[in-house]
Amino acid sequence: MKSKIKIWQLVIAVITIPIFMGNCTNDSYLIDGGKSNPYYDGTIMEFLQSRSPKDDPKNDYFSDLIEIIRLANMEEVLEEENVTFFAPTNWSIRKSVALLNKMWYQMGNDSIKNLKQIKPSVWREYLSMYILKDKYTLKDIPQIDTTAIAAYPGQAFLSYGQQPMNMGVVYYDANNVKYAGARQIIYSYVYDFTIGDMKNAYVATSDIQPTNGVVHVLRLTDHAFGFEPYLFATKAINATIETEPDN
């Protein structure tokens, strides 16, 4: 069952929506989206497509992600099922693919030029990390404090692919008052629940609500697809890299 947060905490949620609404202090990772309405009249897939205009590369944030979704054969999940999707941007995907390319090239192989060269099973495994069944907006997620994880651990989940994940809302301080400031969601891959050993990804834009769930967009400056790009690259290499397709 979802954990509930007191109603007064909801008023702060608007500051956690920087990509399509507005957010906090460092604007280096923000994407201007204009309207503050969090609802999108379409599916999650349609929302991603709306932010990936082919004729406007500067405002293309999800074209690589859309291709991966299709390669992983997970379009139906993001079109029909009620899910929470922590969406990595093109930049996060390209970080991990760049490391894979470097490792593959150092092994004496030609550079990887097409996402199709990576096995669909690999894309599906890693993409599944970012999907949770059911809908979780910021108000549904318990507090996390990475400096006091025993007291405020967030909440553990199994992802769509059954990977151990954790979700929590960071309460920042304000005017020297602890936990009185802005809120921000952290989504984490868990190495060990018992000691709170996790790899964190910060949400830049939260609570975008298409018709079949919710999207939280991950901050593009410090997240690499798969959380651990070396493990992603190793998995892709072990699964074998295909030769470049003709088209």
Give 112-135 pLDDT, tens digit per residue: 999 999 999 999 999 999 999 999
186-195 per-position pLDDT tens digit = 999 999 887 7
Q: Is 192 helix (H, G, I), strand (E, B) or coil?
A: strand
Banded model confidence at residue 34, pLDDT cuts 50, 70, 90: very low
Instruction: Give the pLDDT confidence score for residue 2 in this predicted structure.
Output: 42
Q: What is the rounded CA–CA span in Å between residue 121 and residue 84?
A: 21
pLDDT of residue 247: 55
> For strand 213-218 and strand 83-87, is the pairing parallel, antiparallel, or unpaired?
parallel
How far apart CA 71 and CA 50 sit, in angstroms, is 19
* Residue that has been written with the tokens 């309460």 in this structure: 171
* pLDDT tens string 8-23: 333 333 333 344 443 3
Of the listed ranges 9-18, 49-58, 70-79, 139-148, the least confidently predicted one is 9-18
In whole angstroms, give the CA distance from residue 33 to residue 207: 14
How many other CB atoms are found less than 10 A from the CB of residue 20? 21
| Separation of alpha carbons 103 and 237, rounded Å | 9
* pLDDT of 232 above 90: yes
pLDDT at 170 over 90: yes
* Nearest alpha carbon to residue 215 among 1, 27, 50, 11: 50
